[in-house]
Amino acid sequence: MRELLAAGLILLGLPFFIASTLGLLRFHDVYARLHALTKADNVGLGLICLGLALQASSLAVALKILLIWGLILLASSTGATLISTSALQHGPSPLRLDDRDPDAGR
């Protein structure tokens, strides 16, 4: 039963990675792309880490896997903040809905 739940969590995490990749390719500016990457990748990684922690051979290994997830959460949020701050200072300003081409969504 535990293996089935772990496999389900791992498989449930994969669509989040696919969604973040599509967001990276489809969204219009750096801020929306960062939002897609940080949100979806962190949720997907969390589900995969939970699935792997359930399959771990000991509690210490499971805690190490969860620690890795926590460190990646910290690193990705820090990296996204640095990238967005740099883009805000040196790049284009964030797009608003009225700035976009009206035919872009069709």
pLDDT in tens, 22-68: 988 888 888 888 888 888 888 999 999 999 999 998 999 999 999 99
Give 97's pLDDT tier (boundaries 50, 70, 90): low
Environment class of residue 55 by beta-carbon count within 10 Å: exposed (0-12), middle (13-18) or buried (19+)? middle
The CA-to-CA distance between both ends of the chain, in Å, stands at 46
Structure tokens at 94: 């964030």
If DSSP codes are grouped into helix, strand and coil, which group holds residue 96? coil
Cβ 9 vs Cβ 50: under 8 Å: yes
Mean residue pLDDT of the chain comes to: 86
User: Quick one: pLDDT at residue 101?
Assistant: 60
For range 3-7, the mean pLDDT? 92
Q: Supply the pLDDT for residue 102.
A: 57
Question: Which residues, other chains included, contact 97 with Cβ-Cβ below 8 Å and sequence gap of 6+?
Answer: none
Domains of the chain, by residue range, sit at 2-93
Q: Is the pLDDT of residue 6 over 60?
A: yes
| Predicted pLDDT at 72 | 92
pLDDT at 31: 85
